[in-house]
Amino acid sequence: MQFLIAKKDLNIHNLKGDVIELRASGYGLVGKEPDSFVLAEIQGLAIREFEDCKRDWRRDLQFSTINHNTVEDIYTLKLYATNSNLGKGEVSKSEFEPHITKWNGTIVSDKQNEVIFNLDIFRAAVSGAFWDFDPRNIKFAQTNYDGIAGFHIIEADYSMFNVNPTYLERYVDRHGYSIINHQDKKLVYRVESSLTKDIVEKNIYQKTLTTVAKRRFSFPESFVDEIVTEGGKKTFSKSSIEASLTDKSGQLTYGR
């Protein structure tokens, strides 16, 4: 396989040493390419060995449980990003508060790349995010809560709300909850505490999924100069390539 590398600064996005393309061995520089590019080759290796070079770098969000008040079934959760890049992709209150409040969550505190919030399981299970619409015309009542077993029994009285009963059941079903009873415009369903926490975390993760930066791998300028002295193409070992190739998005050596 071969790395097509910028021989000089081509534009603001492609600078000297940047990896422009991955090629299979046996394909040399053609046309005017020698004016702008050099080739670094690893013999006997397939392109897939370095395919990560052209992938986007997406933010990796993590949630950790700080506390769980089983009396009221309120989780205190910490949200943070594990791979923020020099400020890009960091967690902030302004970005995540709208998503948290949709689940009736409440932010407790925040600092750089960290938001701590309370998640009341009952309130989350009757929120607009749970139903995907404004449920203010539905009257909710908690008929039972077992803190040891970790579940709630909730009655949704929609007698004052014109809605298709089938739709309501499907909203409950999609989350994996059990429907206990449904008649006379009263839907009774069982909410599992741990499952609800997982649903909220997954929803917030998916709603805020973002690319931190384009992966832009690069070699040092001295590496490029070395190839130029060899006529624009040079063969290297895999280990020497890995040692020289750097992800400019995170300033990490390849593979580490």
**pLDDT (tens place) for every residue of the chain, 256 residues total:** 999 999 999 987 788 999 999 999 988 899 999 999 999 999 999 998 888 776 667 778 899 999 999 999 999 999 998 865 556 678 999 999 999 999 999 999 999 999 999 999 999 999 999 999 999 999 999 999 999 999 999 999 999 999 899 999 999 999 999 999 999 999 999 999 999 999 999 999 999 987 766 667 899 999 999 999 999 999 999 999 999 998 876 554 444 3
215 neighbors 57 (Cβ within 8 angstroms): yes
Q: Are residues 116 and 186 in the same domain?
A: yes
Handedness of CA 174, 180, 186, 191 (dihedral sign): negative
Q: Are residues 105 and 187 in the same domain?
A: yes
Strand 37-41 versus strand 233-235 pairing type:
parallel
Q: Are residues 97 and 194 in the same domain?
A: yes
What are the phi and psi torsion angles at 3 (to 5°)?
-105, 125
User: Looking at the 3D structure of the chain, how many domains does it have?
Assistant: 2
Q: Are residues 51 and 66 in the same domain?
A: no
Q: Are residues 50 and 173 in the same domain?
A: no
Question: pLDDT value at position 256?
Answer: 39
Q: Are residues 227 and 189 in the same domain?
A: no
Residue 63 tokens, joined:
């949630």
Q: Are residues 190 and 90 in the same domain?
A: yes
Beta bridge mates, 2: 23, 41
Q: Are residues 102 and 170 in the same domain?
A: yes
Q: Are residues 71 and 180 in the same domain?
A: yes
Which 3 state secondary structure label does DSSP give 10? Answer: coil
Which 3 state secondary structure label does DSSP give 124? Answer: helix
Residue 219 tokens, joined:
């070699």
Residue 51 domain boundaries = 2-55+215-253
Q: Are residues 184 and 90 in the same domain?
A: yes
Distance CA 17, CA 10 (A): 10
Altogether, the residues listed in the chain come to a count of: 256
Q: Are residues 132 and 14 in the same domain?
A: no
Distance CA 223, CA 79 (A): 40
Q: Which amino acid is at 39?
A: L
Question: pLDDT value at position 134?
Answer: 92
pTM: 0.69
Count CA atoms closer than 13 A to 78's CA, side-chain side: 11
169 neighbors 179 (Cβ within 8 angstroms): yes
Q: Are residues 150 and 165 in the same domain?
A: yes
Handedness of CA 147, 200, 95, 116 (dihedral sign): positive
Question: pLDDT value at position 89?
Answer: 76
Count CA atoms closer than 13 A to 219's CA, side-chain side: 27
